[in-house]
Structure 1
Amino acid sequence: MNTFISAVLVGLVGVFCMWDSRLLGRLNFEQPLVGATLVGLLLGDVPTGLAVGAAVELVSMGLVQVGAAVPPDMVLGGIVAAAFACLTDASAETAMTIAIPVAVLGQLLGIVFRSIIAALTHVADSAIDNGKFKTAYRMHICAGSGLYAVMYFLPIFLAVFVGTDLVQAIVNMVPEWLSTGLNVSTKIMTAYGLALLLTMMIKKGMTPFLFIGFLLAAYLNLSVIAVALIGVCLAIVFMGFKFNGSHATAGVDSDYDPLEDDED
């Protein structure tokens, strides 16, 4: 298989994985492990693709997209790294040095393309107001998905066809003030996105539990999993109190079994 065909196939894998959350309904194809494994399958080296995907997946598990914040695109990085490892017989550890700069490039591209798509959203809104539903459909489904496809296909194709040195050179060409500004803005947007989610989700009675979780994490240095398990335990306890209280209020014996035969 020549380099051009390999680059096209790997690029199409990236487009397919990206469309998972845009067109396919979130089937979990948009994961570094899945994307890298598919690359290994196409390039005839599944073990290497799986190893690279697992390594990148471990890194991506600590990156959560909250609100409008855009983390490094580890799916894009994992796909390019897997292709690099499969085509050059490099190890998963060596491929990881490629995944990070590609993921950072994907982060920058994601911010740019999301800004463009946000403008298309206003065009779609205007079309809906004017009753032009086909135009809105084309803006939302065709144009939006097409732009995302270009965002994934081009960097993957160029990275595989020309070489990963090109990707590293592009990342190095980004001015420091721009990359710093983008990183700062993404951190601000993370807090802003979380605040937006809280305004929709939190209720007056749930506010104390939010602060309890914050205090547990901040002052006891508990992990997110530990805090979540404590929350589950508290939920079970309070649900028990709630149902026991409702039985007592209704005057119903909680041990009563309606299937028992009447002894009288």
Structure 2
Amino acid sequence: MNTIQMVLVVLVAFLAGMEGILDQWEFHQPLVACTLIGLVTGHLDLGIILGGQLQMIALGWANIGAAVAPDAALASVASAIILVQSGQGTKGIGMATGIAMPLAVAGLFLTMIVRTISTAIAHIMDADAKKGNWRKINMWQWIAVCLQGLRIAVPAALLLAIPASTVKYWLGLMPTWLNEGMSIGGAMVVAVGYAMVINMMASREVWPFFAIGFALAAIKDLTLIALGAIGLAMALMYLALESQGNSNNSSTNNEGTGDPLGDIIDDY
């Protein structure tokens, strides 16, 4: 990796760290972060594949109340760097996926440090607000957001400082059983992440779409573009039924749930 590529990787890591709080451009999402790192390092295909694997895991991660989800940004950036530095190609995706999990948990420690500092900054901003010093409030806000970016950029820079030959040597010391175990574990975690999403959003209105989707995915002749077109068509059909159901409910005294499939089931 040359100097320009390293600078671009650190920039992607910085943006991913900030987006973990801002949620504006979704740079912290594994599919986006890994794809961008793969793009700037010349391994776009590896970045997309790894990002897709990690995205399936992170689908079920969410910050709920005081419970903070594992750090998807650090897991994505660090595992993508390790995959590129390892030089293993697609064979190293399972290993990178397995490494991403402990990295995501370790990222919680960095998150705790930065959020503790941000709490102190919030008190400083409160004091400046009482004085009406809006310029300092804006300055401290930028400092707090940049700290979130440095939370990912600094570990990324440290990983890039390790020569690729050293990374390959360390990974070569891993026994076969550990490498295969991490690949299997990474695949299992992907399934768990998707199951968490289904558990949160599944209802009688959307279960038919899950069933149809799994059935269509088993047809090998259908490409991802074809599956996407079918999914888009089904979504448009659902929205059309929903709008039609809402208009019918407004013109009659019958009460509806707003879910067209649910109303149809209730009628039967």
Answer yes or no: same fold by TM over 0.5: yes
List per-residue Cα deviations over 1:172-202 (Å, max 9, x = no partner).
xxxxxxxxxxxxxxxxxxxxxxxxxxxxxxx
Mapped to 2, the partners of 1:63 and 1:228 lie a distance apart of 23
Alpha-carbon contact 1:80-1:160 (below 8 Å) kept: no
Deviation of the 1:229 alpha carbon: 3.2
Secondary structure at the counterpart of residue 28 of structure 2: coil
Match of 1:17 in 2: 16
Match of 1:95 in 2: 96
Mapped to 2, the partners of 1:42 and 1:64 lie a distance apart of 28
Matches within 5 A, 1:1-264: 1-2=1-2, 6-20=5-19, 22=21, 26-90=24-88, 91-140=92-141, 142-162=142-162, 223-227=199-203, 229=205, 241=249, 243-245=251-253
Which runs of structure 1 show a deviation greater than 6 angstroms over 4 or more consecutive aligned residues? 235-239
Deviation of the 1:149 alpha carbon: 1.9
The residue identity in structure 1 corresponding to 2:144 is G
List per-residue Cα deviations over 1:203-228 (Å, max 9, x = no partner).
xxxxxxxxxxxxxxxxxxx8333237
Match of 1:206 in 2: none
Deviation of the 1:97 alpha carbon: 2.2
Alpha-carbon contact 1:7-1:156 (below 8 Å) kept: no
Deviation of the 1:89 alpha carbon: 2.1
Alpha-carbon contact 2:54-2:76 (below 8 Å) kept: yes
Deviation of the 1:242 alpha carbon: 5.8
The residue identity in structure 2 corresponding to 1:225 is M
Deviation of the 1:106 alpha carbon: 1.2
Greater Rg over alpha carbons, structure: 1
List per-residue Cα deviations over 1:5-36 (Å, max 9, x = no partner).
6544322111122333656x612222101100
> Normalising by the residue count of structure 2, what TM-score does the alignment of the two structures yield?
0.60
Deviation of the 1:245 alpha carbon: 2.8
Match of 2:170 in 1: none
**Change over 3 Å in CA distance of 1:121–1:155 after alignment to 2:** same
List per-residue Cα deviations over 1:61-114 (Å, max 9, x = no partner).
111122332111122111111111122223210111221122112111112211
Mapped to 1, the partners of 2:199 and 2:252 lie a distance apart of 32
Secondary structure at the counterpart of residue 27 of structure 1: coil
Mapped to 2, the partners of 1:21 and 1:107 lie a distance apart of 12
Alpha-carbon contact 2:75-2:103 (below 8 Å) kept: yes
Mapped to 2, the partners of 1:62 and 1:69 lie a distance apart of 13
**Change over 3 Å in CA distance of 1:131–1:238 after alignment to 2:** same
Alpha-carbon contact 1:70-1:111 (below 8 Å) kept: no
Q: CA RMSD in A?
A: 3.1
Secondary structure at the counterpart of residue 20 of structure 1: helix
The residue identity in structure 1 corresponding to 2:80 is A
List per-residue Cα deviations over 1:102-157 (Å, max 9, x = no partner).
211211111221121022112112211111111111111x2112211221111111
**Change over 3 Å in CA distance of 1:137–1:156 after alignment to 2:** same
**Change over 3 Å in CA distance of 1:112–1:83 after alignment to 2:** same
Alpha-carbon contact 2:17-2:151 (below 8 Å) kept: no
Give structure 1 stretches of 5+ with no counterpart. 166-221, 247-264
The count of aligned residue pairs is 186
